[in-house]
Amino acid sequence: MEGELCRMCGGDGRIGNSLGGTTATCPSCHGSGRRAEMSPAFHDVTKTKPSHYRPDVPVQAGPKVPMTPEGVQLAREVTASTALDAEAKRRLIAEIVNHEGTHGRCTQTFLKKARKQLRPAG
């Protein structure tokens, strides 16, 4: 047999109930008494929705400016802001373009978050 001893049953392949004296097949090793390197019944429970398996959005050579009305208006507000330096404005506009590319439009939550960054510090 390959693999190390099962940690749950200690290599017996069965686990017992100390109160009733009954035994059952070990759920960890399925009765083999050994831990396999890769269990055939393993599945990743963190990815439970089909949307989790979508490939990452590739960097597009598309527009470098916002295209939706909300995005254009927000970009104008960013450009007119006196609270941000040029680098921060460039990053925020790039974030608007990226958000539009992944979500299709600027969501209300995103607009609030972006406008909060436009406020003067203090």
Statement to judge: residues 74 and 107 lie in one domain:
yes
Statement to judge: residues 69 and 94 lie in one domain:
yes
Using one digit for the tens of pLDDT, what is the confidence trace for 52-103?
Answer: 666 666 655 666 788 899 999 999 999 999 888 999 899 999 999 989 888 8
Residue range(s) defining the domain that contains residue 111 = 49-122
Start-to-end Cα distance in the chain: 67
In this structure, is residue 44 part of a structural domain?
A: no
pLDDT at site 38: 53
Statement to judge: residues 32 and 56 lie in one domain:
no
Query: pLDDT grade, residue 1 (50/70/90)?
Result: very low
Statement to judge: residues 71 and 14 lie in one domain:
no
In this structure, is residue 5 part of a structural domain?
A: yes
Using one digit for the tens of pLDDT, what is the confidence trace for 3-48?
Answer: 688 888 888 888 887 777 788 888 888 888 887 655 555 656 676 6
| pTM given for the model | 0.48
Distances (CA, A) of 25 to 17, 22, 32, 33, 41: 11, 11, 9, 10, 16
Instruction: State how many domains the chain has.
Output: 2
